[in-house]
Amino acid sequence: MTTAARRAAVVGWGVAGLLLLVVLWEGYKLLAPADGVLIGETRVLPRTTDLAMPHVWDMFGRLAEPVTRSPSAQPLWLVILLGALTTLGIAAAGWLVGVVVGIGLALVMQRWRVAEWGLLPWIVLSQTVPLIAFAPIVKSWGSRVEIGSFEWQDWMSVALIASYLAFFPIAIGALKGLQSPDRIHEELMQSYAAGYWATLMKLRFPAAVPYLLPALRLGAANAVIGAVVAEVSTGLQGGIGRLLIQFAGQASGDPAKAWGPIFGAIVLGLVAAGSVALLGVILKNYRRTEETA
Amino acid sequence: MSAPETTAAPGTITEPAIAVRVSSVDKVFETQGGRVHALEGIDLSVAAGEFVSLIGPSGCGKSTLMRLIADLDAPTSGSIAVFGKTPTRARLDQEYGIAFQQAGLLPWRTVAANVALPLELHGVGQAARRAKVDELLDMVGLAEFAERYPDQLSGGMQQRVAIARSLAEQPRLLLMDEPFGALDEMTREKMQADLVRIAGETGAAVVFVTHSIPEAVFLSDRVVVMSPRPGRIREIVPMRLAGAAAGPADGVGAVEGAATRAARTEGLREDRSFFEMVTAVREALHGAPVATGARGVETR
């Protein structure tokens, strides 16, 4: 198969998957009873009313309509796009902090074995703290930070929480990558009398790329989730997290509207992960392996 | 780190003819299963420009000895001098080039960039680097593969790149740990002939670890036969091959080495003197005359 044909096939299967989802949604809505499927008292499948499961075309049609009935209202898609961009910016800031912290921790752990033993359990433990629990704490701590003319902004709390989720896979992936060079490569560098920094730049970082790329992508997805959840729990205005809550509250009167921000959040995650995938294309030579042809 | 000395170093005036001197070296590894005596009472000198092979069954410490010379490991007792310097000093001064059984090329670098790596690390300018890399790739016959990546080359070609890389700093000593061990027989013989030529052209001394008797005989001025547990030198067999009236008898006369090397052509493999030397090394390995079926060492 040619490259073009293969690419077309990938796109084709992707579209087919989406269509299947639509068919399943609408098929269930058409065939299942309005009250859903119950076993005893327990509902195992959802209601199929327009309130619980709006038609796919209603959900998308709603995007083109204005947010409110006010004559000056913007269309729903624009509001969601602006919200998504705000969240993307915050998540990107959080991701960058996560990259710096994650790679920094990995460097320290790679350099000193003792640091790995001491730090790694805490890094793992850090991810077991529920995000919802400490988001308000971070916000209240942040509000007390004031250094000179610098004043802590609420979005920074959200970015910080996003970075808290993002740094974990990056730290683990970077550590594995930095430790990945074969002994023969390390000894070669030693035989060249290359010091720590030269070995790091010429050997460890390039060798870490295949481990770093998926870690960075995972970190980007985590940063988006972290940003959305933190927006919800700190009540930050302007982002997609806030829209999710706000429109969900209006679902009884306007059920299709609540799905708008959900689609927005999905697209947001795809864009974030896709941007990192782009990084992989640029660094593709570092993903080669030394195998005999 | 001081600047790498690629030309004749002033520190070698005392013993200009000796590339490596190993004096009563012991190496003990502390393992979970107890102490392992890897090397015991090793004395060996390698003259400048001389080709010396270390041969012996697995566990005889031949690779360990090479690693000690390369300063990738330190002896438990005894001393090693490389061109009259400590191994560490010699390593920092880039006195040796090294090649292993695996080519160990960096997969994300092109062939040319792999060969250039040591030069890059030692701050050689780009123009000088390119000229040197072209010259080296020419020498190993891979000039047209400069922009390929290692995964696009065969095993033999990768190993040739590794040899070119080990020659980048024009070392006066080459350390090679079974560099052809993973290659097929045809490629192996071709590489051996290439190595003889390259060693002759560069005038470098070579310490060559192998477990193939014909390979050791074909390449070497002297073959150092080792025995395991503890790793000892059993015998040093000087190679007397056709075309060379007498090889250097005990190491310090390696100037004739270059002359004997000219005789190492493919025809030598068919020569009577070659088989005699193979037999001599095999007998040294087994400590007694053996008829057939050498054990412990591959005879390919």
pTM over 0.80: no
Region A126-151: mean pLDDT is: 79
Q: Is the pLDDT of residue A293 over 70?
A: no
A209 CB within 8 Å of a chain B CB: yes
Of B91, B149, B153, the CB nearest to A193: B91
A192 CB within 8 Å of a chain B CB: yes
Which residues, listed in sequence order, are joined to residue B97 by a DSSP beta bridge?
B174
Percent of chain B with pLDDT over 90: 9
Do B108 and A286 count as a contact with CB atoms less than 8 A apart? yes
Q: Is the pLDDT of residue A283 over 80?
A: yes
Do B108 and A190 count as a contact with CB atoms less than 8 A apart? no
Chains A & B: contacts with CB separation below 8 Å: 72
Do B106 and A292 count as a contact with CB atoms less than 8 A apart? no
Number of domains chain B is built from: 2
- CATH number of domain containing B53: 3.40.50.300
Do A202 and B154 count as a contact with CB atoms less than 8 A apart? no
pLDDT at B288: 64
Which range is most confident: A31-40, A137-146, B174-183, B266-275?
A: B174-183
> Which one-letter amino acid corresponds to residue A109?
M
Q: Is the pLDDT of residue A181 over 80?
A: yes
In this structure, are B81 and B225 located in the same domain? yes
Copy the structure tokens of residue A102: 């994650």
From B98's Cα to the closest Cα of chain A, the distance in A is: 8
Query: Could you read off the pLDDT of B207-231 as tens digits, one per residue?
Result: 999 988 888 888 888 888 888 888 8
Mean pLDDT of chain B: 79
User: With contacts defined as CB-CB under 8 Å, which chain A residues touch B121?
Assistant: 189, 192-194, 198, 202
Region B175-184: mean pLDDT is: 86
Do A188 and B103 count as a contact with CB atoms less than 8 A apart? no
pLDDT at B12: 44
pLDDT at A107: 93
Band (pLDDT 50/70/90 cuts) for residue A185 is very high
Cα angle at B109 between B106 and B111, to 5 degrees?
A: 95
Q: Exposed/middle/buried for A127, CB within 10 Å: 0-12, 13-18, 19+?
A: middle
Q: Is the pLDDT of residue B298 over 80?
A: no
Query: Could you read off the pLDDT of A189-229 as tens digits, one per residue?
Result: 988 988 899 899 999 999 998 899 899 999 999 899 889 98
- d(C-alpha B201, C-alpha B199), whole Å: 6
Do A288 and B153 count as a contact with CB atoms less than 8 A apart? no
Band (pLDDT 50/70/90 cuts) for residue B1 is very low
Region B184-194: mean pLDDT is: 83
pLDDT at B27: 86
Of B92, B100, B154, the CB nearest to A293: B154
pLDDT at A108: 92
Q: Could you tell me the residue range of the domain that residue B139 belongs to?
A: 105-170
In this structure, are B177 and B153 located in the same domain? no
Q: Is the pLDDT of residue B266 over 90?
A: no
Q: Is the pLDDT of residue A291 over 50?
A: no
In this structure, are B64 and B189 located in the same domain? yes
Is residue B7 a part of any domain in this protein? Answer: no
pLDDT at A130: 79
Q: Pick from B117, B139, B170: which residue ends a domain?
A: B170
Query: Could you read off the pLDDT of A35-78 as tens digits, one per residue?
Result: 878 887 888 888 888 888 888 888 888 888 887 777 778 888 88
From A194's Cα to the closest Cα of chain B, the distance in A is: 7
pLDDT at B260: 54
From B96's Cα to the closest Cα of chain A, the distance in A is: 8
pLDDT at B49: 84
Phi-psi region of A180 (alpha: psi -120 to 50; beta: other; left: phi over 0): alpha
Which range is most confident: A66-80, B1-15, B60-74?
A: B60-74
Q: Is the pLDDT of residue B18 over 90?
A: no
Q: Is the pLDDT of residue B247 over 60?
A: no
Region A89-101: mean pLDDT is: 93
pLDDT at B6: 46
Its sign, for the CA torsion A17, A23, A24, A29, is positive
Q: Where are the domains of chain A?
A: 30-59, 76-287
From A275's Cα to the closest Cα of chain B, the distance in A is: 22
Its sign, for the CA torsion A232, A237, A238, A243, is positive
Is residue B3 a part of any domain in this protein? Answer: no
Nearest to A101 by CA among A76, A75, A119, A77: A119
What φ, ψ does residue B225 adopt, rounded to 5°? -95, 125
Do A292 and B154 count as a contact with CB atoms less than 8 A apart? yes
In this structure, are B161 and B263 located in the same domain? no
In this structure, are B82 and B132 located in the same domain? no
Q: Is the pLDDT of residue B5 over 80?
A: no
Nearest to B202 by CA among B171, B176, B233: B171
In this structure, are B200 and B254 located in the same domain? yes
Do B158 and A290 count as a contact with CB atoms less than 8 A apart? yes
Interface mutation vs chain A, best among B73, B93, B121, B157, most A CBs within 10 Å: B121
User: With contacts defined as CB-CB under 8 Å, which chain B residues touch A287?
Assistant: 108
Band (pLDDT 50/70/90 cuts) for residue B297 is low
pLDDT at B250: 44
- Residue written as token pair 């002033």: B10
User: With contacts defined as CB-CB under 8 Å, which chain A residues touch B154?
Assistant: 292-293
Do A195 and B1 count as a contact with CB atoms less than 8 A apart? yes
Band (pLDDT 50/70/90 cuts) for residue B252 is very low
Residue A186's contacts (CB-CB under 8 Å, 6 or more residues apart) are A199, A203
- d(C-alpha B68, C-alpha B138), whole Å: 31
CATH of A76-287, one of 1.10.4190.10, 2.30.30.90, 2.60.120.380, 1.10.3720.10: 1.10.3720.10
Band (pLDDT 50/70/90 cuts) for residue A24 is very high
Q: Print burial letters for A80-91: b (CB count within 10 Å at least 16), e (below 16).
A: bbbbbbbbbebb
Do B149 and A194 count as a contact with CB atoms less than 8 A apart? no
Residues A260/A80, Cβ–Cβ less than 8 Å: yes
Of A182, A202, A291, the CB nearest to B151: A291
Of A188, A206, A207, the CB nearest to B104: A188
* Peptide bond just before B230 cis, omega within 30 deg: yes
A182 CB within 8 Å of a chain B CB: yes
Is residue B69 a part of any domain in this protein? Answer: yes
Do B94 and A184 count as a contact with CB atoms less than 8 A apart? no
Residue A145's contacts (CB-CB under 8 Å, 6 or more residues apart) are A151, A152
Do A292 and B98 count as a contact with CB atoms less than 8 A apart? no
In this structure, are B63 and B196 located in the same domain? yes
User: With contacts defined as CB-CB under 8 Å, which chain B residues touch A189?
Assistant: 121
In this structure, are B33 and B138 located in the same domain? no
User: With contacts defined as CB-CB under 8 Å, which chain B residues touch A288?
Assistant: 107-108, 149-151
In this structure, are B69 and B159 located in the same domain? no
> Which helix (H) or strand (E) covers residue A175, if one does?
helix A154-178
Region B264-278: mean pLDDT is: 75
Is residue B296 a part of any domain in this protein? Answer: no
Q: Is the pLDDT of residue A1 over 80?
A: no
Q: Is the pLDDT of residue A8 over 80?
A: yes
A window 143-172, beta carbon within 8 A of B: none
Mean pLDDT of chain A: 86
In this structure, are B76 and B215 located in the same domain? yes
* Least confident piece of the model among A148-152, B104-108, B177-181, B249-253: B249-253
User: With contacts defined as CB-CB under 8 Å, which chain A residues touch B151?
Assistant: 288-293
* Least confident piece of the model among A174-188, A269-283, B6-20, B267-281: B6-20
Nearest to B137 by CA among B157, B107, B122: B157
